[in-house]
Amino acid sequence: MLTLVAFVVALGILIAIHEYGHYRVAVACGVKVLKFSVGFGKPIYTWRLKNRPTEFSIGMLPLGGYVKMLDEREGPVDPAERHLAFNNRPLGARAAIVAAGPAANLLLAVVLYAVVNWSGMQEPQPVLASPVAGSIAERAGLRGGERVQQAAFDGDTLEEVRSFEDLRWHLTRAALGGRDVRLQVTDGVGESTGAGVAATRSVLLPLSQLNAADADAQLFRKIGILGPWTQAVIGEVMPGGAAEKSGLRTDDVVQRIGERTIVDGQQLRETIRASKGAQTWQILRGGQTLQLQVEPEMRQEAGQSVGRIGAYVGTPPALVTVRYGPLDGLWNGAVRTWEVSVLTLKMMGKMLIGEASLKNLSGPLTIADYAGKSASIGWSAYLLFLALISVSLGVLNLLPLPVLDGGHLMYYLWEAITGKSVSDAWMDRLQRGGVAILLGMMSVALFNDVTRLLG
């Protein structure tokens, strides 16, 4: 139920804001708006504002919306109102009305990011877990336990890293953009110097070597940075699992597995994944050291055989409250909106030329799933989800497809260059082509949704 409610609320807000952008600018440009609808199909609620010609309604199907304006191309117009018709407004006004919908979504994203920045959010500290064996991070000299102080694309000015999510965003943009990342890290206290003084060093991650096509879990496995540092502790033990059968208990601290010293939760998880049989585990329980024989159960995941023990591994990471001041929070919101927009366009471009997988397209089922998950975490996570989808909606609508706002802007660009509008015959052909492309994209997205859910 939470997933359904969160999904419907998200769609309602994003669609209403998008259509309100069109409506508000249309009114400001002197166009008569006949109807404003959020949702399609039979209206379930309709109302009018005093002294306004517009009928507002909420439709039964919350999968879109529309603003119907007075237009001579869609029906007869009273000669006394011809100056209020959309088609009779100047080219600049028509373009502004069309662009206002996507612009409203992008502006909403800025506000949502800013609200989260101002209110503050608990996020994992930017302390690195042990890198995946053989990964880029391990080859670059990271060992685990380092705190990332600053990060930037190689050659750019270093920026402060406030949380692990900040770091993850730097890595995502760099990997998908084919850029190297430079990190300024502080080693664990006394680790490098032996004198109780934390040593700071620079680490270059050559992520341009990845040729990343997908923004998925495997991308971060190749990078080698899967999560923040946690203790190598056994959490909740599932009944009937390998952990319970071996005698492991909640709060056991794992010190060694075979000949390998275990230093953190990430290394423990990786060791379990790679296990091929029973091994001797050295654990600390209530101040006493014990030896247990543990044999993980082997399971098939993504075509690979991995070990599982049926227990939560690692403690929750240490958290930090990330909060910005009024101006910094707003600026950060604008920057994040811009960065997400650029990354979205780059990914779409890569998918178009075959450099990125079409698996990156997501449809309504995935959006609904993430809406429910983010809402269950808390309102800050839900606002971040709304901001991300709002950016995606804004960018998608600016694509030069005839059925989208971006397609109409292309018509107006043609009109501005040639001095005449697109002919009805060409308009019909382009509309048909645009519908075909959009239906194709929706089919791929829905197929990806079903594949993810069944996988």
pLDDT of residue 15: 93
pLDDT of residue 444: 82
Cα separation, 262 vs 114, whole angstroms: 40
pLDDT of residue 363: 77
Give yes or no on whether 136-223 and 234-304 have one common fold.
Answer: yes
The sign one gets for the Cα dihedral 76, 78, 84, 87 is: positive
- What confidence tier does 366 reach under pLDDT thresholds 50, 70, 90? confident
**Residue 128 above 70 pLDDT?**
yes
pLDDT of residue 111: 97
Report the range out of 5-14, 183-192, 349-358, 426-435 with the highest average pLDDT: 5-14
Compute the C-alpha angle 192/193/196, nearest 5°: 110
The gap between the terminal CA atoms of the chain, to the nearest Å, is: 22
Comparison of pLDDT for 190 and 102, the residue scoring more: 102
DSSP state letters, 321-343: EE---HHHHHHHHHHHHHHHHHH
Mean pLDDT of 360-389: 86
- What confidence tier does 359 reach under pLDDT thresholds 50, 70, 90? confident
Mean pLDDT of 419-431: 81
Q: Which of 188-202, 210-224, 372-386 is least confident? A: 188-202
Which percentage of the chain shows pLDDT scores above 70? 95
Mean pLDDT of 256-261: 89
pLDDT of residue 168: 92
**Residue 298 above 50 pLDDT?**
yes
pLDDT in tens, 201-249: 999 999 988 876 555 667 888 899 988 999 999 988 999 888 899 999 9
Mean pLDDT of 441-447: 81
pLDDT of residue 190: 33
pTM of the full structure: 0.83
Mean pLDDT of 138-164: 92
Architecture of the domain delimited by 136-223? Roll (2.30)
Q: Over the chain, what is the mean pLDDT? A: 87
- Domain ranges, ordered by start, for the chain: 93-120+324-455, 136-223, 234-304
Q: Which of 43-52, 91-100, 269-278, 299-308 is least confident? A: 299-308
pLDDT of residue 455: 59
Which residue out of 19, 123, 146, 270 is catalytically annotated? 19
Comparison of pLDDT for 214 and 155, the residue scoring more: 155
Query: Residue 54 is which amino acid?
Result: T
Count of CB atoms within 10 A of residue 380's CB?
17
Report the range out of 169-173, 329-333, 372-376 with the highest average pLDDT: 329-333
Tell me if residue 19 is catalytic. yes
Cα separation, 175 vs 137, whole angstroms: 13
**Residue 40 above 90 pLDDT?**
no
Cα separation, 280 vs 160, whole angstroms: 42
Architecture of the domain delimited by 234-304? Roll (2.30)
**Residue 75 above 90 pLDDT?**
no
pLDDT of residue 274: 86
Comparison of pLDDT for 348 and 66, the residue scoring more: 66
Q: Two tokens at 255?
A: 């010190």
Q: Two tokens at 442?
A: 């929706």
pLDDT of residue 193: 40
